[in-house]
Structure 1
Amino acid sequence: MSDNTWFIIAIIIYMLVMVLIGYWSYRKTEKYDDYMLAGRGLNPFVAAMSAGASDMSGWLLMGLPGALYVTGMSELWIAIGLTIGAWANWMWVAPRLRSYTEVSGDSITLPSFFESRLRDKSRTLRIVAALIIIIFFTFYISSGMVAGGVYWESTFGGDYWVGMAVVAGVTVLYTFIGGFLAVSYTDAVQGTIMFFSLIIVPLFAYFALANPADIWSFAASNDYGPYTDGIGNPTYFSLISGVSFAAIVGNLAWGLGYFGQPHIVVRFMALRSPAEAKQGRRIGISWMILCLFGATFTALISTVYFAQHPEHTVTDTESYESIFLDLANVLFHPLIAGLILTAVLAAIMSTMSSQLLVTASSLIEDLLKAVKKDDLSEKTLITLSRATVIVLAIVAGLMAVNPSDSILGLVGFAWAGFGSAFGPIILAMLYWKRLNAPGAISGMITGAVVAIGWGMSPLSDTLYEIVPGFIAAAVVMVVVTMATKEPQQEILDEFETARKLSKVVESKEDIDFRQAAKEI
């Protein structure tokens, strides 16, 4: 059989498993809350793995290795910033958000939590938050479809459009069928596939080198990839050479984005109890660190491997985002390579599915229900949510037909938008009693506008837009809040209830969380 036939067999096996999980989830999804948040019943392993898989996307196996391959170790500042940010998110946001959403209207989306937390009867806060989610997630979903097209080209030498359509189609199918439960469990499986693939591929590539020690010096003085002038990339191994202080700050600031990513923090809202955030943090951060090591060594080893094996070529010679795929293709039997290559599909699909569902929930839960006075039945809400998933996929697909940026560029723009608009607001919602609706609304709009404006200007070449966006949102939020009316006593009392609940659960991890929420 040809290599492509083996690849297709592996991918069919993978796709069938994803669809079967979707069907299993469909059988367990009876209510609208089940479809959107899995009845708040995620165990910490599934929550951690699904958060990690939906976070990393095709960026982990394609965008990051490509950036490290082309630029060098200075791109590691992004990985360092992300690791710190992910840890902080699990530490400070996860347990408090789970507690607060339980006592504040049993919220199932971030915008509905914002509205309930600040008692915004105008619905402006909820609608603005939903619009920001819809705008930035459309770009984010589009980046996943671009990754799907690149994957198909690299793996099969096939058509970009066909690959984009196949990957998007299966993702939409299981998301459409099974909702949040399907998304979470498929993400957990996909995260496991990503983990083992990022260990196996660089390990086998390392031992396939004639002199493995070359990886620590080769790129700095030899031609490889985009470097063809005989001197290589002299600053490849330096974290700071040739990199401005602003660039380092901007890359580290990727970690700030975690506080505002709806598709990640929604996992915290779905945990069975705030106490399980501790176990989730240990699992999630361990997974993340090992995966980032794998992506880094994939890039490092590729600088030597492809230079010393000219018979093997890199498919993507612009961004070099296909090096993980290309290594797997040349190192393994086609069936094994096909199974490993599903890791990229897993990364792409896990993120797309989460984003599709969160965006659909914002359209239905936060826009439609906010403007429609009549209550809709559970069945109608689920049907509308499923239809929205399809519409969103079509819109994002049209944007991805002729991508104007790399995968990392598209992800970076959306990541900065969410981090700037929601990051300061979520932290203030959980830890600042004085916050009010005008301050939250002003901060959100400011963060989104500054991130978009900065990102579309030449200034983005100097400093990543999340830095000015996050700072501007925080400053405006504080200034407007302090200049306007204090929150009602009801809001202050609820804040204290959520804080006490979080403390109680932290000190008594085996306590009945829902009963404690009723008694406090």
Structure 2
Amino acid sequence: MAVSTPILGIAVLIYMMVVIYIGWIGYKQTKSTEDFMLAGRKVNPLVLALSYGAAFISTSAIVGFGGYAGAFGMGVLWLVFMNIFVGIFIAFVVFGARTRRLGVNLKAVTFPELIGRRFQSRFIQGFAGALITIFMPLYAGSVLIGGARFMETALNIDYNSAVLILAVIVAAYVITGGLIAVMYTDALQGALMFVGMAILFFLTYAKLGGVVEAHQALTNMAHMVPENLAAVGHTGWTSMPVFGSPTWWTLVSTIVLGVGIGVLAQPQLAVRFMTVRDTRSLNRAVLSGGPFIFMMAGVAYVVGALSNVYFLETRGMISLEVAGGNIDAIIPAYINSAMPDYFVIFFLLTLLAAAMSTLSSQFHTMGTAIGHDLYREFLMKGKLGHTISITKLGIAVTIVMSVILAYILPFSIIARATAIFFGLCAAAFLPMYTGALFWKRMNKQGAIASLLVGTFTSLFWLTFVHAKEASALGISRALFGVDTILTGTWTVVDPILIATPLAFVTAVVVSLATQPDPQDHVDRCFNSLNKGDLPA
């Protein structure tokens, strides 16, 4: 049942006023380009952890991947392990400190600029900026869908209106306040998300009779897996799919590996490593970031799977049937049906926080990709120009693009769209990012080759081989008369398993086969990486 009470309106109004106020504080503290781009390089460790986690875990995770767990089970919990081990520990401890040091040394203010300056290539910076501009709206659109779907069911308002409301509110403080406003509001929203998911965790188990009882009941439902899902490997909600089946390949290669590895090369997350005062702040942030991700992602996936038990007991159906076959509607349907009205109100705020925190980071990243990386550094060859104005215009343009995609993307798209973007970033950016930080012999030619090979191999695989995207796009059928140019298992193998290794091999081979970069520049970069902390 939809919740529509004066209390809900007041709660949302208060929340929005607080967010706008914090955004205004960010605006007042934004005095320079570095403030707008990097929050002045003086962010508190707790703010970093909450901002990073809130930008990472969005409605894509809660609604999209939670809904995926509702349809296919707890195998998606392997993604929680990847989120914490790779997305927090490896990202902060292995990549984070070196990213910060190199960023300070090269005076880089965006992720594309960090890589571009390391390899002394405006082409890399411009191409990376273009890639972000073109494809990140797909990810942002999926986040908008997640927030809007819950607003639609909880507030009983039109979906299209919900998309527009979310986009306008986030735009207001991102365009004016830059990254300071984004990170401050992210921290507030992250704290709200943590509390909301903790309450959801306990209420769910209380409603289902306890931890053991709930999980046993879910295990006992294995015989209720629909025939069409069982035919592609679904074995139940507490077991992994049949090894090598289409469902197994989707879970392991697209969901677990695509998102789990792709997080290392997310521009909107990597840039946060350059916002802190020192490396010690990054290490401290790990202690907060790990539990935050565990609570956010773990709870969403467990609750999504357990929603089947609740709907069986109350309606005699599994979650996917209740949601009308739309995976993205499972979590909203469960919350609005199973939870008390007061919590539906609070969870709406939680989801608003999740959507707004990620969207603000995405819009800021897309805007800086247009204004700084494409316009100033690539087109204007480093001239100052009107960088901030173009950046703000870029944010507005990419918001419009994201809203349009949120209107036209099909059902059950959130998890898949997120995985597509994460996988593309892994293939395009991760090889040269890794080489920039850890391998002296990686040169400009190797970085450019890996960027191009990773990008176009990934896009080729999505367009002509990976069945879900290839059949939907229809380009392969139009050109060759078939949905996919390969058959069998290849059509369910995610592009990340093909494009990323190929890009790594390309980086190594081309770097070794061509002349090294100027030694003085390489030494300068690696001397900063191997020293202690550098002042911001």
TM-score normalized by structure 2? 0.87
Describe the shift of the 1:79–1:225 C-alpha distance in structure 2 as closer, same or farther (beyond 3 A): farther
Describe the shift of the 1:53–1:138 C-alpha distance in structure 2 as closer, same or farther (beyond 3 A): same
**Amino acid in the other structure paired with 1:127:** G
Alignment of 1:23 with 2:24, yes or no, is: yes
State the Cα distance separating 1:410 from its structure 2 match: 0.9
Indicate the residue corresponding to 1:209 in structure 2.
Answer: 208
**2-side partners of 1:459 and 1:491: how far apart?**
41
**1-side partners of 2:65 and 2:416: how far apart?**
11
CA contact (8 A) 1:151 1:163 kept: no
Indicate the residue corresponding to 1:307 in structure 2.
Answer: 312
Indicate the residue corresponding to 2:355 in structure 1.
Answer: 348
Query: What do the CA deviations read for 1:289-344 (whole angstroms, capped 9, x no partner)?
Result: 22232113312331111221229997733233344434433455534421222111
**1-side partners of 2:210 and 2:97: how far apart?**
48
Residue number among 375, 388, 399 corresponding to 1:382 in the alignment:
388
What pairs up with 1:152-191 in 2 under 5 angstroms? 152-191=151-190
Moved more, 95-104 or 246-255: 246-255
State the Cα distance separating 1:12 from its structure 2 match: 1.9
Residue number among 448, 459, 469 corresponding to 2:499 in the alignment:
469
Indicate the residue corresponding to 1:491 in structure 2.
Answer: 521
**Amino acid in the other structure paired with 1:400:** A
Alignment of 1:401 with 2:403, yes or no, is: no
Query: What do the CA deviations read for 1:228-278 (whole angstroms, capped 9, x no partner)?
Result: 99x9x7532113545547556514423221221001111101111122211
**1-side partners of 2:236 and 2:395: how far apart?**
45
Q: Which runs of 5+ in 2 are unaligned?
A: 468-490
CA contact (8 A) 2:52 2:269 kept: yes
State the Cα distance separating 1:9 from its structure 2 match: 2.5
Query: What do the CA deviations read for 1:423-450 (whole angstroms, capped 9, x no partner)?
Result: 1111110001011111111101111112
**Amino acid in the other structure paired with 2:4:** N
Alignment of 1:417 with 2:418, yes or no, is: no
For the residue of structure 1 that corresponds to 2:315, the secondary structure is coil
Indicate the residue corresponding to 2:140 in structure 1.
Answer: 141
For the residue of structure 2 that corresponds to 1:456, the secondary structure is helix
Indicate the residue corresponding to 1:258 in structure 2.
Answer: 263
What pairs up with 1:232-311 in 2 under 5 angstroms? 234-239=235-240, 241=242, 244=245, 246-247=249-250, 249-250=252-253, 251-253=255-257, 254-310=259-315
State the Cα distance separating 1:110 from its structure 2 match: 1.6
Indicate the residue corresponding to 2:116 in structure 1.
Answer: 115
**2-side partners of 1:211 and 1:202: how far apart?**
11
CA contact (8 A) 1:439 1:478 kept: yes
State the Cα distance separating 1:500 from its structure 2 match: 2.5
**1-side partners of 2:223 and 2:275: how far apart?**
46
Residue number among 458, 471, 486 corresponding to 1:451 in the alignment:
458
Query: What do the CA deviations read for 1:91-141 (whole angstroms, capped 9, x no partner)?
Result: 21100010011112x100122122221223xx2121111111112212111
State the Cα distance separating 1:220 from its structure 2 match: 4.0
Describe the shift of the 1:300–1:126 C-alpha distance in structure 2 as closer, same or farther (beyond 3 A): closer
Indicate the residue corresponding to 2:101 in structure 1.
Answer: 99
CA contact (8 A) 2:225 2:236 kept: no
**Amino acid in the other structure paired with 1:91:** V
**2-side partners of 1:364 and 1:55: how far apart?**
23
Indicate the residue corresponding to 1:441 in structure 2.
Answer: 448
Describe the shift of the 1:299–1:457 C-alpha distance in structure 2 as closer, same or farther (beyond 3 A): same
Indicate the residue corresponding to 2:482 in structure 1.
Answer: none
**Amino acid in the other structure paired with 1:376:** L
What pairs up with 1:220-235 in 2 under 5 angstroms? 220-222=219-221, 227=226, 234-235=235-236
Describe the shift of the 1:39–1:312 C-alpha distance in structure 2 as closer, same or farther (beyond 3 A): farther
Indicate the residue corresponding to 1:124 in structure 2.
Answer: 123
Describe the shift of the 1:73–1:357 C-alpha distance in structure 2 as closer, same or farther (beyond 3 A): same
State the Cα distance separating 1:42 from its structure 2 match: 0.9
For the residue of structure 2 that corresponds to 1:382, the secondary structure is helix
Describe the shift of the 1:392–1:252 C-alpha distance in structure 2 as closer, same or farther (beyond 3 A): closer
CA contact (8 A) 2:3 2:154 kept: no
For the residue of structure 2 that corresponds to 1:24, the secondary structure is helix
Residue number among 493, 506, 509 corresponding to 1:479 in the alignment:
509
**Amino acid in the other structure paired with 1:204:** L
Indicate the residue corresponding to 1:7 in structure 2.
Answer: 8
Q: Which runs of 5+ in 1 are unaligned?
A: 506-512
**Amino acid in the other structure paired with 2:141:** S
Describe the shift of the 1:95–1:218 C-alpha distance in structure 2 as closer, same or farther (beyond 3 A): same
- CA RMSD in angstroms, aligned pairs only: 2.6
CA contact (8 A) 1:55 1:351 kept: yes
Indicate the residue corresponding to 2:437 in structure 1.
Answer: 430
Query: What do the CA deviations read for 1:186-218 (whole angstroms, capped 9, x no partner)?
Result: 111111111111111131122123576442233
**2-side partners of 1:96 and 1:349: how far apart?**
29
Residue number among 372, 377, 384 corresponding to 2:380 in the alignment:
372
Moved more, 280-289 or 237-246: 237-246
Describe the shift of the 1:209–1:247 C-alpha distance in structure 2 as closer, same or farther (beyond 3 A): closer
Indicate the residue corresponding to 1:510 in structure 2.
Answer: none
Indicate the residue corresponding to 1:509 in structure 2.
Answer: none
Moved more, 57-66 or 452-461: 452-461
What pairs up with 1:55-70 in 2 under 5 angstroms? 55-70=56-71
**2-side partners of 1:273 and 1:65: how far apart?**
35
State the Cα distance separating 1:81 from its structure 2 match: 2.5
CA contact (8 A) 1:97 1:269 kept: yes
State the Cα distance separating 1:285 from its structure 2 match: 1.4
Describe the shift of the 1:362–1:164 C-alpha distance in structure 2 as closer, same or farther (beyond 3 A): same
**Amino acid in the other structure paired with 1:60:** A
State the Cα distance separating 1:8 from its structure 2 match: 2.7
Aligned residue pair count: 499
**2-side partners of 1:446 and 1:155: how far apart?**
45
